[in-house]
């Protein structure tokens, strides 16, 4: 039944996204909770800095695979596109607010990249190239990420992607932005209060 397919894919997406890769890798290698070291974000970037680049890449690959897996399974089951797209969004949501980490997860970028790479690989490749160029020019993660997200959404619209994919792209962008604000609200508010724009833009 379509209703069961829809609910099943969405639940699967959330549970796959919730898998706490960074937490498990840091516990395995450091014996510590990744949320207690570095910038305290349970994601690939913090693992790379605190545990090692190889393990950061491992976390990134697994987190990206979580987004890919729900799409692959949903499509193999013949679920409607709306279910697959919603399941993909749920995977990013589960990563950011994992029940296994008391709803304190990562920022969702790796999982979103996995989703977009499988559904819109050409758009993702061009957007990633824009982001890498901006990183090389500015040496600034904030601006690099910002231009990557802008390019990705703009290209999804310009290239005439299906409306569902455009909605998914914008939805993931808003979710990642909201998560970043929630995680850094104290830091951002303090920087704004001091009118320290350099510190504001360097939020990690």
Helical packing angle, 163-183 and 81-96, nearest 10° = 10
Structure tokens belonging to residue 22 = 């960074």
Write the pLDDT tens digit of every residue in 54-108.
999 999 999 999 999 999 999 998 899 999 999 999 999 999 999 999 998 888 8
Question: Which has the closest alpha carbon to 104: 46, 183, 11?
Answer: 183
* % of the chain residues with pLDDT over 90: 53
Cβ-contact 131, 151 below 8 angstroms: yes
Question: Which has the closest alpha carbon to 118: 70, 161, 171, 177?
Answer: 70
Write the pLDDT tens digit of every residue in 108-157.
888 999 999 999 999 999 998 988 898 788 776 667 777 888 889 999 99
Structure tokens belonging to residue 199 = 């510190």
Evaluate if residue 3 carries a pLDDT over 60: no
Question: Which has the closest alpha carbon to 56: 118, 123, 106?
Answer: 106
Structure tokens belonging to residue 145 = 């990420």
Write the pLDDT tens digit of every residue in 147-188.
888 889 999 999 999 999 999 999 999 998 888 777 766 656
């Amino acid at each position: 039944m379509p209703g069961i397919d829809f609910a099943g894919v969405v639940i699967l997406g959330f549970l796959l996204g919730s898998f706490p890769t960074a937490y498990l890798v840091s516990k395995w290698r450091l014996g510590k909770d990744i949320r207690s070291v570095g910038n305290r974000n349970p994601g690939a970037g913090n693992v790379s800095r605190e545990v090692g680049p190889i393990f950061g890449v491992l976390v990134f690959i697994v987190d990206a695979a979580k987004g890919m897996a729900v799409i692959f399974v949903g499509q193999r089951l013949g679920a409607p596109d709306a279910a697959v797209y919603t399941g993909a969004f749920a995977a990013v949501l589960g990563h950011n607010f994992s029940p296994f980490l008391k709803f304190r997860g990562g920022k969702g970028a790796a999982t979103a990249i996995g989703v977009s790479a499988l559904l819109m690989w050409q758009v993702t490749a061009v957007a990633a190239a824009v982001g890498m160029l901006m990183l090389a020019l500015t040496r600034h993660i904030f601006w690099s990420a910002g231009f990557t997200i802008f390019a990705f959404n703009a290209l999804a619209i310009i290239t005439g992607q299906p409306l569902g994919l455009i909605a998914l792209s914008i939805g993931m962008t808003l979710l990642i932005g909201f998560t970043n604000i929630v995680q850094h609200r104290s830091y951002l508010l303090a920087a704004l209060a001091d009118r320290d724009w350099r510190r504001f833009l360097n939020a990690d």
